[in-house]
């Protein structure tokens, strides 16, 4: 069975937009922002990573401006958070878990799209990581928090893992759909496990 790669990228991308939108909205609620602040932060968290990806690839206007479903997914996420954030809270650490899922999804779609545009594997991996961390970094900067990618131990590494799996899987000729799912899952699991288990990475010795 053939899998339509562009459709696969768009599908996973839209899920990434939705969950990153939830993470942005949840952060806005935690900062006691009003309904418009929730929507702005949902939009920033969910669309910035893909816009950076598309601008760097020269794929302008970016997908978020060409395909109305992106905006719809982002706004829907903001609305869901505004209405249902108490339910989200009960699920545990919602920003972290949603952010981890968005991280994996965007790492994979960013890397897949970069390969489709003819970038070399290493550059495609870098672009995947950038797609994955861009929206969350902007989200955190906008509320004056140091971005998660710098505060947390295993973050960029989780995105890196997802992107590397895409490149290696493609090289080995595995089916794109399976590779994408494995990549997303690996990045997500590594990120969530690292938080749950308190894994830490080495620091430079400080005399």
Query: Which residues are near a second copy by CB under 8 A?
Result: 28-29, 31-41, 51, 55-58, 60-62, 64-66, 68, 71, 81-82, 85-86, 114, 117, 119-120, 122-123, 126-127, 133, 137, 141-147, 149-150, 153-157, 200-207
Nearer to a second copy (CB atom), residue 143 or residue 181: 143
Quote the CA–CA distance of 107 and 149 in Å, as a whole number.
13
- Least distance CB 178 / a second copy (angstroms): 27
Nearer to a second copy (CB atom), residue 108 or residue 173: 108
Tokens standing for 194? 């690292």
Nearer to a second copy (CB atom), residue 19 or residue 29: 29
Nearer to a second copy (CB atom), residue 154 or residue 179: 154
Quote the CA–CA distance of 61 and 51 in Å, as a whole number.
9
Tokens standing for 39? 């929507």
- Least distance CB 181 / a second copy (angstroms): 25
As to burial, measured by CB atoms within 10 angstroms (0-12 exposed, 13-18 middle, 19+ buried), residue 173 is exposed
- Least distance CB 46 / a second copy (angstroms): 12
- Least distance CB 156 / a second copy (angstroms): 5
Quote the CA–CA distance of 48 and 65 in Å, as a whole number.
11
- Least distance CB 69 / a second copy (angstroms): 11
Nearer to a second copy (CB atom), residue 144 or residue 172: 144
**C-alpha separations of 52 from 29, 30, 138, 174, 200 in Å:** 25, 26, 11, 28, 29
The residues near 207 (Cβ < 8 Å, ≥ 6 apart) are none
């Amino acid at each position: 069975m053939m899998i339509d790669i562009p459709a696969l990228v768009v599908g996973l991308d839209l899920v990434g937009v939705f969950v990153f939108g939830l993470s942005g909205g949840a952060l806005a609620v935690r900062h006691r922002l009003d309904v418009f602040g929730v929507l702005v932060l949902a939009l920033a968290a969910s669309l910035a990573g893909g816009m950076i990806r598309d601008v760097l690839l020269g794929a302008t206007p970016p997908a978020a401006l060409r395909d109305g479903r992106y905006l719809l997914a982002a706004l829907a996420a903001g609305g869901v958070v505004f209405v249902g954030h108490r339910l989200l809270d009960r699920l545990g650490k919602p920003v972290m878990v949603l952010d981890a899922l968005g991280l994996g999804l965007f790492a994979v779609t960013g890397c897949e799209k970069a390969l489709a545009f003819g970038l070399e594997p290493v550059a495609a991996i870098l672009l995947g990581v950038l797609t994955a961390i861009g929206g969350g970094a902007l989200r955190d900067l906008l509320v004056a928090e140091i971005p998660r990618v710098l505060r947390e131990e295993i973050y960029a590494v989780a995105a890196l893992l997802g992107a590397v799996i895409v490149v290696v899987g493609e090289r080995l000729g595995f089916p794109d759909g399976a590779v994408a799912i494995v990549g997303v899952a690996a990045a997500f699991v590594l990120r969530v496990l690292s938080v749950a288990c308190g894994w830490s990475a080495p620091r430079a010795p400080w005399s």
